[in-house]
Structure 1
């Protein structure tokens, strides 16, 4: 016995979305239009839409209508959570692929951000952050050797913040971030699987412990087709 008609209609609507005929963020056709398109009652169409709302492909906005839901990850820049924590909160299991791990004497900009003295060294780590084998973020991070003498390649394949808080025993307080839209350099574009003409979002950030010590400087490159950045502004 075949699947119910409303499920078959739901699958056809999914196909329309995947093939780009229904665009993310746009309102869907009316129930009347869909009942004619699929030669089904409005009740059946309504069941199909309800199923897709439950699956997260469509969203109903009270008093406005039903829309194709944007599938970008919504990143709140006022919330200080790691990539691993963010993905797990969305029931996704991230993978951190370490592409470079070096002990270096940093350039002046990094030295200034981390408030280092001449001769101080840092760990430079480049990580590709993936979900379901798709790269979402390319991270370049610099961590002072004096603060993290036991840092290793293996540690950086996991959650950096977990290591800092649970193993090093330090409490992270704040991160200061600057967001810049850029065209990626060739090596960054290759790691994110985009071309060099595709804009990405670059975030420069430095983070501090509760005692005010700057412990990290990072440059994160986000795929703009996977991420959107949100903030909430309150009127005083």
Structure 2
């Protein structure tokens, strides 16, 4: 008996990201990888509909999105053609050491947001001993005119009180890094992948349920006290994580 082999769809049925955005992402990636060159015709609506196992309207929405980005152009009766290769937007490389974490934000000026009530601080068992109190900041990090991160930050009161004016003008981690007599025992960052809720989508100007990278960073002093906790959310399409696992040439040098 001959088996029928079905190709697995590139879409994740359990993903909260809308299906048309998943289709657009898959098509965008194919163009980046050279499946269709500039000037070439992509697959037909019917073919894409069957391949991704979605409705025709979903495919049209995905193509309309890529047309708005200038990547595709549809011609009546002829099909849809590639007009340009999408540029990589992954300009933000998440740091894997202290110096690289501080360097990009050293001269950054956050746009601080006014909030009525600070969220309850949640400290995990391995993140240090809580200080007696914390100052809370919520801010949007900007790249030119574009928001690229939404940050919730807690700074221990005894640290904040040493330079309140600086914490009101600069990224808290960059201020802490400049303290001459502060000895840091541990700085750790955890990265998870999620989806934008209504508030995150509004602040970062992205679609609801769009992929985001969620970084949780904590810093402790030599007494084991948690002096900084940051929960920072980035749009998923601007972030990359680059970790050197092994480099024979570097090791031999």
Q: TM-score when scaled to structure 1? A: 0.58
Q: Is the 8 A contact 1:178 1:205 kept in 2?
A: yes
Alignment of 1:71 onto 2:59:
no
C-alpha distance 124-159 of structure 1, shift in aligned 2 (>3 A) = closer
> In the TM superposition, what is the alpha-carbon distance from 1:214 to its structure 2 partner?
2.6
Contact 1:98/1:153 (<8 A) preserved: no
Shift of 1:156: 3.5
Q: CA deviation at 1:126?
A: 0.7
Q: 2:201: which partner in 1?
A: 189
Instruction: Tell me, in whole angstroms, the C-alpha distance in 2 between the residues paired with 1:29 and 1:196.
Output: 31
CA contact (8 A) 1:124 1:140 kept: yes
Match of 2:109 among 85, 92, 95: 95
User: After the TM superposition, which of the residue ranges 186-195 and 147-156 deviates more from structure 2?
Assistant: 147-156
- In 2, distance between residues paired with 1:21 and 1:232? 24
> C-alpha separation between the residues in 2 aligned to 1:217 and 1:176?
10
1:173 Cα shift?
A: 5.0
For residues 168 and 135 of structure 1, the distance between their equivalents in structure 2, rounded to whole angstroms, comes to 31
Q: 1:110: which partner in 2?
A: 123
The CA distance in 1 between the partners of 2:117 and 2:100, in whole Å, is 23
- Is the alpha carbon distance of 1:114 and 1:97 closer, same or farther for their aligned partners in structure 2, counting shifts above 3 Å? farther
Please tell me whether the aligned partners of residues 191 and 213 of structure 2 are also in contact (alpha carbons under 8 angstroms). Answer: yes
Contact 2:102–2:174, Cα closer than 8 Å, also in 1: no
Report the Cα offset of residue 68 of structure 1.
7.2
Per the alignment, in what secondary structure is the counterpart of residue 146 of structure 1? helix
Unaligned runs of 5+ in 1: 1-19, 34-66
Aligned positions of 1:153-172 closer than 5 A: 155-167=167-179, 169-172=181-184
- Please state how far the C-alpha of 1:193 moved relative to its aligned partner: 0.7
Q: Within 1, Cα distance between the matches of 2:190 and 2:238?
A: 19
What's the Cα RMSD here? 3.9
Structure 2: state its 5+ residue gaps: 1-27, 40-84, 249-253
Does the 8 Å CA contact 2:150/2:234 hold for their aligned counterparts? Answer: yes
Q: Tell me, in whole angstroms, the C-alpha distance in 2 between the residues paired with 1:146 and 1:219.
A: 20
CA drift of 1:170 comes to 1.8
> Quick one: distance in 2 between partners of 1:108 and 1:69?
39
Cross-structure match for 2:139:
127
8 A Cα contact 1:101 1:153, kept in partner:
no
1:223 — aligned with what?
235
Deviates further, 186-195 or 76-85: 76-85
Specify whether residues 143 and 87 from structure 1 end up closer, same or farther in structure 2 by C-alpha distance, changes over 3 A only: closer
Between the aligned partners of 2:135 and 2:180, the Cα distance in structure 1 is: 16
Q: Which residue of 2 aligns with 1:177?
A: 189
SS in 2 for 1:214: strand
Structure 1 contact 101–123 (Cα < 8 Å) conserved: no
Q: Which has the higher strand share?
A: 1
Deviations along 1:64-109, one digit per CA (max 9) or x if unpaired, are: xxx9762312414312247672267xxxx743111147896x7362
How far off its partner does 1:116 sit? 2.0
